[in-house]
Amino acid sequence: MPTETDIANLALGKLGGAGSQLTASGFISSINGTDMVSGWCRTLLPVCRERVIVDLAVEKCPLRESIVYKDMGAAIDESGLPEIGDWTYAFNVPTDCLAVIWQIDEDFPDTGRKRKYKFETILNKGKNGLILLTNNLSNSDGDSAFIAYATDIKNPNAFNSTFTQCLTTLLASELCPLVGKETKARTNYWQNISKYACRTLNLSTSLN
């Protein structure tokens, strides 16, 4: 299975390598290395990883291993809320949430599909967390929202080939100006999201 070093080298490979490497090989021996290119990869990889997770979630084709299901618990008292417009209920979003994918019914027939509801996420008053706004209560007890959200996945063993392709393309695009390269990697990221994500991230019908 790929390591973080492998992922960084796959990204560098899309650029034809990094010419400033002391070994002249164009690749890094470890993402924890002390050379400049390893440092760039180490800094950019987690940022790119989170962005791909969010972008796939927004496209409704999330990485399966990133999905968390959550009963949102008690609604927020109105006194602690910013303006919520025509929405009826508000809930604090879990702190490990990168993006809310769906609000769905917690209970559904085995042969059916989860019903989805409209929602909106906004910043809380402290601007240090998210609030989910909805007009529907969808958990089993009928007193809260039930959601599916995407969280960060740090273990490369959980990445499938689709996710790795998107991640290495985005990382390559971020490394381009740093390693003195200018290639199509800077414009290919969204092409990969649309080309690979919805076609090959195979969610079961109960998630669709």
Question: Does the pLDDT of residue 203 top 60, yes or no?
Answer: no
Distance CA 133, CA 84 (A): 7
pLDDT for 153 equals 94
Q: Give dist(CA 113, CA 165) in Å, integer.
A: 29
Helices and strands in the chain, H and E counts: 5, 7
CB 125 within 8 A of CB 144: no
Tens-digit pLDDT profile for residues 7-25: 999 999 888 777 554 444 6
The domain segmentation of the chain, as residue ranges, is 4-60+154-207, 67-151
Calpha distance 114→190 (Å, rounded) = 28
Residue 202 pLDDT > 70: no
Average pLDDT, the chain: 83
- Whether 195 has a pLDDT exceeding 90, the answer reads no
Residue in the structure block whose two tokens are 């002390």: 34
- The Cα–Cα gap between 180 and 137 comes to 52
- Checking if the pLDDT of 198 tops 80, the result is no
Q: Residue 140: which residues within 8 A CB-CB, separation 6 or more?
A: 71, 106, 107, 146
pLDDT at 98 over 90: yes
The mean pLDDT value for 106-133 works out to: 81
Phi-psi region of 158 (alpha: psi -120 to 50; beta: other; left: phi over 0): alpha
Global confidence as pTM: 0.82
8 A C-beta contact, residue 147 and residue 207: no
Instruction: Say whether pLDDT at 62 is over 70.
Output: yes
Percent of the chain beyond pLDDT 90?
A: 48
Angle at which helices 185-192 and 161-175 pack, to 10 degrees?
A: 150
| Dihedral angle over CA of 85, 133, 54, 47, nearest 10 | 80
